[in-house]
Amino acid sequence: MNKNLLTLLLTLTIFTIVADAQSHNKKFGLEINGGIREYHGDLGSATYFKVSPDYQAVGGALGMYLNPSFDFNLYGAAGDLGFYKTSYDTVRAVTYRQGFRSRISEVMLGVTYKFNNGYILPEDAMFKPYIRAGWGGMQSISKFTEGSVPDGYTQSRTWFASHWNAGLGAKIRLTDALDFVISEQVNYTFDDNYDAAPYAIAGARLNSAQEGNKPLHDMYLYHNIGFVFNFGNNGNVGYRITDSDDDGISDDFDICPNTPEGYAVDTVGCPYDADKDGIVDEEDKCPNTPGIAAFDGCPDTDGDGIPDSEDKCPKKAGSKEGEGCPDSDGDGLYDHIDKCPYSAGPKDNDGCPKDDKDGDGIADADDKCPDVPGIAAFNGCPDSDKDGIQDSEDKCPLKAGTKEGEGCPDSDGDGVYDHLDVCPATPGVVANKGCPEIKQEVQDEIKLAAKGIYFESGKDIIKSESFKNLNRLAEIMIEYKEANVIIEGHTDSQGADGANLTLSQKRADAVKRYIASKGVSESKMTAVGYGETKPIADNESADGRALNRRVDFKLVY
């Protein structure tokens, strides 16, 4: 088989070298390939070189161009497929060998989707990935071996069945007429008798209570490489790419067919304009910031005729003399060099009144906060929220409050001022730091769910029957989002104290990780292991020890 494959490939290469080729006009493709087949089925799996030997095959295809995205194909392959395994019967002390080798030929009609279709990759790309699927039939001539070693028996069978195939691959352009191709195909046959073990895997045939007694079938992979010879001139019949501006987008799909040479374009052939300001990136000096044409795409935020990059005050309209800044207080100093731009002062004091640096109308000698504008009621210190409490004594300086609340309001009206309220927007109770009271039925539900958390013996691996209870605990945490949780791990007294302490910590950590995976922040949870130090029952009895092996779950504020 290797000799035949080499002869075919050599013949194709010689023929291609002398061919007159124009790649975008070649309507047909003739493929020849060779490679290996790997079995996966009832007897086991040899896929991806798991089991030796691999079996060889050769194949071919005839493709016809339909449009930039799709080709029609007639394709197939012929070669061997096999798999052998041995097992030992410990009762009879006999080694059994089971397996098959089959000569399988298949032929299919299919469709190929090409990624070099002008939308994803250029049609004339050198690297041309594709996916392919088809339907057809297969013939198998099989020899089956089964029985004890070395006295096993062999039988033969010829079989026909319908067949489908799917695969992916890539062509690499060598010349306009010749592509190198590498692909992998999955072959699935609607009868798996070629391995003499139909539906042999336990559970492969469903019972009558499970969806109509459906069978499973075997499959095999075909890894291959080869060459494709492209031929046939489309003339005026086929599709030919016209790209007037040579931007990689055919005129049929190019909304901007006159793009200047070298401009990067989007999927419809128009030059990129990342900031959507109407100025294409190649002509835009500020391509990521919306601007105006007068400044080559750069912005003038305050509209004073000075681009932001040269404007010392880009958000306040100014003058060229002031480098884009105004003189807001009219003291002869432009705002960007005036330390008190809204209070007129002499130049030798940087534009500030000599006796009032912060410009709040209170002389520095009388101003307890001379560097921050304030009010006379607080000797020049500020009251930002205007609640009658100066900022230095206000626990909530940006929210108007009361003296009783140290400058804070009680936003939710629950009697707990905002700076002490863990849930300032939700009415609660004082005992819960302003958060809602946890209802008794919720506390009971937490205790019940916590009792249903189980681990593998001596390990921190959570058993699957615990997941329903853990999911409910996570839901409660999300419902009481302001609350924190303490997860306590406990053990019975059996075993070494240190080992019990370590195990209890690991189990508490495991519960924490699981609940975090359900959307609860780890910062809201504390996991603590207590080992055997906090029993709730007598460790002398099995029932007592079972009660002591537990995880406690406590919500706190």
* Interatomic CA distance for residues 137 and 105, integer angstroms: 9
**Mind spelling out the 3-state secondary structure of 332-400?**
CCCHHHCCCCCCCCCHHHCCCCCCCCCCCCCCHHHCCCCCCCCEHHHCCECCCCCCCCCHHHCCCCCCC
More confident residue, 30 or 433: 30
Instruction: Report yes or no on 209 lying in a domain.
Output: yes
Least confident of 61-75, 113-127, 442-456, 509-523: 442-456
Peptide bond before residue 290 is cis, with ω within 30 degrees of 0:
no
* 63 and 41, same domain (yes or no): yes
pLDDT of residue 98: 80
Q: Tell me, what amino acid is at 153?
A: Y
pLDDT at 181 over 70: yes
* Interatomic CA distance for residues 509 and 13, integer angstroms: 65
Contact 181, 223 (CB under 8 A): no
Kindly state the tokens that stand for 8: 């075919």
Residue 517 pLDDT grade (very low, low, confident, very high; cuts 50, 70, 90): very high
**Mind spelling out the 3-state secondary structure of 282-321?**
HHCCCCCCCCCHHHCCCCCCCCCCCCHHHCCCCCCCCCCC
More confident residue, 348 or 162: 162
* 97 and 209, same domain (yes or no): yes
Residues 516-540 have a mean pLDDT of 91
**Last residue of one domain, picked from the residues 371, 399, 430:** 430
* 118 and 210, same domain (yes or no): yes
**Closest C-alpha among 419, 412, 494, 480 to residue 445:** 480
pLDDT of residue 363: 78
* 403 and 536, same domain (yes or no): no
Strands 525-531 and 484-490 turn out to be parallel
* 404 and 536, same domain (yes or no): no
Q: Tally Cβ neighbours within 10 Å of residue 214.
A: 9
pLDDT tens across 133-177, in order? 999 999 999 888 876 656 556 778 888 888 899 999 999 999 888
* 107 and 200, same domain (yes or no): yes
* 146 and 19, same domain (yes or no): yes
pLDDT at 235 over 70: no
pLDDT tens across 410-431, in order? 888 888 898 888 888 888 888 8
Least confident of 29-43, 338-352, 488-502: 338-352
* 105 and 226, same domain (yes or no): yes
Task: Find the CATH number of the domain harbouring 494.
Answer: 3.30.1330.60
Least confident of 36-50, 150-164, 189-203, 536-550: 189-203
DSSP-derived 3-state class of residue 510? helix
Kindly state the tokens that stand for 204: 């492969």
Residue 207 pLDDT grade (very low, low, confident, very high; cuts 50, 70, 90): very low
Report phi then psi at 113, rounded to 5.
-100, 125
pLDDT at 455 over 90: no
* 79 and 191, same domain (yes or no): yes
* 112 and 201, same domain (yes or no): yes
Instruction: Report yes or no on 476 lying in a domain.
Output: yes
Least confident of 30-44, 152-166, 478-492, 506-520: 152-166
Q: Tally Cβ neighbours within 10 Å of residue 41.
A: 24
Residues 362-387 have a mean pLDDT of 87
**Closest C-alpha among 405, 417, 520 to residue 471:** 520
Q: Tally the residues of the chain.
A: 557
pLDDT of residue 317: 92
Q: What angle do CA 111, 112, 113 make, to 5 degrees?
A: 125
Strands 44-45 and 55-65 turn out to be unpaired
* 106 and 157, same domain (yes or no): yes
Q: How many domains does the chain have?
A: 3
Instruction: Report yes or no on 45 lying in a domain.
Output: yes
Q: What is the share, in percent, of the chain residues with pLDDT greater than 70?
A: 89
Domain containing 551 equals 440-556
* Interatomic CA distance for residues 390 and 435, integer angstroms: 29
pLDDT at 22 over 50: no
More confident residue, 418 or 207: 418
pLDDT at 326 over 90: yes
Q: What is the share, in percent, of the chain residues with pLDDT greater than 90?
A: 34
pLDDT at 82 over 50: yes
Instruction: Report yes or no on 20 lying in a domain.
Output: yes
pLDDT of residue 147: 66
Give the chain's mean pLDDT: 83
Instruction: Report yes or no on 294 lying in a domain.
Output: no
More confident residue, 42 or 338: 338
**Last residue of one domain, picked from the residues 176, 198, 233:** 233
Residue 198 pLDDT grade (very low, low, confident, very high; cuts 50, 70, 90): low
Radius of gyration of the chain (CA): 40
Q: Evaluate if pTM is beyond 0.75.
A: no
